[in-house]
A = this chain, B = another copy of it.
């Protein structure tokens, strides 16, 4: 029974089945959707994905995983904004079937409010319930839901009975995103989302589990990178450039999880986390007391992680606050937190420019997400990457990256399993030597030094030596021969 989830009498008459609700959506509309990894609507997207019913939809979502598979595989969507973790969506983007605009997540809500993408015709927002006073109890993520409810012409809500009611109270919505928080757990707003009831066109009751998240086991390379990050942070702590109970942001994926695991072995206590998504690794550290306070916009947990969270929800809710994306990724908050940002690069070049998004410069991976929000305003900006990919045929340290998502100016540290390069205060030539010597795979050090030397000889004295006829040749060689290694 859904009665305890839907306590707002004034909205009782809006309850519809998914098909009826989806009828408010017309081809060509701009649809805002909840979902930041978790917390996506489940029933209405499946209606939109039914063959032949919809086309030319623009979908705006914080970070799509969940229902994106079905939607991507349908012909309903012709444009998607802003970040996706979904192989089928990625394939459609790279096939040129879905236009993809890649936006800094920290600015997405402001851009929505400014009408940059046009008027949002309909918002489809998952929630865990509606209070008597109309307050919408959010699901497992907040993302851009506040901005969508504010901007959309019409709103469709999905109450998901599969989300335990114990989620209630973890969220903090409202209050200025700009004025620095007094602390990680400070609450400024209320625990519910608000929406003009006149705009609510339909409420659908669903009971749908979150899709499983594929968590790769961390391997020796990940652990090697993690050890380098730990050595770096030990050095910063020893030099008193970081307080003992410092604040951390970590991206997602195997390497980030390994870095977090390394923290549990480092004897740290009472670390703080101010981040975009809280993954299984971080949840474990909270349980262990390594992290005592965490702020995030989403619980990006596996089914096992979700079970662990809800088995001990009262405990975790004392240590975790979920905030809107406009706050979790706000440059103001990130600056004020003085945090260590640890994000994964696809590749880095010898001067410290970072490619986070474009495989070989042309194919989209997931999008820039919040990586530049955090590294751009962090106190210490760390990019991590394995030294090689594709069994050693790709060097992740290259002469020049073919796409820049975070520039040399945004990068303090690059770490691989071989070491880390501290780029702070260094000139480009000093950076090149530090990156090649400390981060590159031994097999690629000599070729990288060759490039740097021959570029230096070609340019003569200059700020940043490059041989423009060869700067991207490593990528070209891989495309032609299957390896960046010279014959």
A403 at the interface (CB under 8 A from B): yes
Contact A427 B464 (CB under 8 A): no
A185 at the interface (CB under 8 A from B): no
Instruction: Report the Cα distance A100→B431, complex, angstroms.
Output: 11
Smallest CB–CB gap between A325 and chain B, Å? 14
Contact B332 A368 (CB under 8 A): no
Instruction: Report the Cα distance A272→B117, complex, angstroms.
Output: 26
A95 at the interface (CB under 8 A from B): yes
Instruction: Report the Cα distance A330→B330, complex, angstroms.
Output: 12
Contact B466 A402 (CB under 8 A): yes
Contact B405 A363 (CB under 8 A): no
Chain B residues in 8 Å Cβ range of A409: 102-104, 368, 372, 405
Stretch of A33-41, A108-116, A226-234, A387-395 on the interface side? A108-116
Contact A430 B99 (CB under 8 A): yes
* Known pairs A409-B368, A425-B117; A468 contacts B463 (CB<8 A): no
Contact B424 A116 (CB under 8 A): yes
* Known pairs A402-B468, A459-B362, A465-B362; A99 contacts B427 (CB<8 A): yes
* Known pairs A101-B425, A178-B332, A404-B404; A463 contacts B358 (CB<8 A): yes
A472 at the interface (CB under 8 A from B): yes
Contact B94 A461 (CB under 8 A): yes
Copies of the protein in its oligomer: 2
- Our pick among B114, B405, B476 for the contact of A241 (Cβ within 8 Å) is B114
Q: Of all chain B residues, which has the CB nearest A177?
A: B335
A471 at the interface (CB under 8 A from B): yes
- Our pick among B176, B241, B331, B361 for the contact of A464 (Cβ within 8 Å) is B361
A377 at the interface (CB under 8 A from B): yes
Q: Which of A41-57 contact B (CB under 8 A)?
A: none
Chain B residues in 8 Å Cβ range of A118: 425
Please encode chain A, from 241 to 280, with 1 for each CB lying within 8 Å of some chain B CB and 0 for all others: 1000000000000000000000000000000000000000
Chain B residues in 8 Å Cβ range of A407: 372, 404-407
Instruction: Report the Cα distance A469→B476, complex, angstroms.
Output: 7
Smallest CB–CB gap between A203 and chain B, Å? 30
Chain B residues in 8 Å Cβ range of A331: 331-332, 335, 376-377
Instruction: Report the Cα distance A111→B101, complex, angstroms.
Output: 33
Chain B residues in 8 Å Cβ range of A99: 426-427, 429-430
Instruction: Report the Cα distance A66→B263, complex, angstroms.
Output: 48
A215 at the interface (CB under 8 A from B): no
Chain B residues in 8 Å Cβ range of A427: 79, 99-101
A81 at the interface (CB under 8 A from B): yes
A353 at the interface (CB under 8 A from B): yes
Most buried by B among A116, A117, A403, A469: A403
A415 at the interface (CB under 8 A from B): no
Q: Which of A374-394 contact B (CB under 8 A)?
A: 376-377, 379
* Known pairs A110-B379, A118-B425, A407-B405; A472 contacts B463 (CB<8 A): no
Please encode chain A, from 19 to 33, with 1 for each CB lying within 8 Å of some chain B CB and 0 for all others: 000000000000000
Please encode chain A, from 110 to 136, with 1 for each CB lying within 8 Å of some chain B CB and 0 for all others: 110011111000000000000000000
Please encode chain A, from 296 to 330, with 1 for each CB lying within 8 Å of some chain B CB and 0 for all others: 00000000000000000000000000000000001
Chain B residues in 8 Å Cβ range of A336: 178, 332
A93 at the interface (CB under 8 A from B): yes
Contact A115 B241 (CB under 8 A): yes
Chain B residues in 8 Å Cβ range of A429: 96, 99
Q: Of all chain B residues, which has the CB nearest A357?
A: B463
Q: Pick the 9 closest A-B CB pairs, nearest first.
A: A332-B332, A331-B331, A404-B404, A96-B461, A364-B463, A99-B427, A468-B472, A362-B462, A117-B425
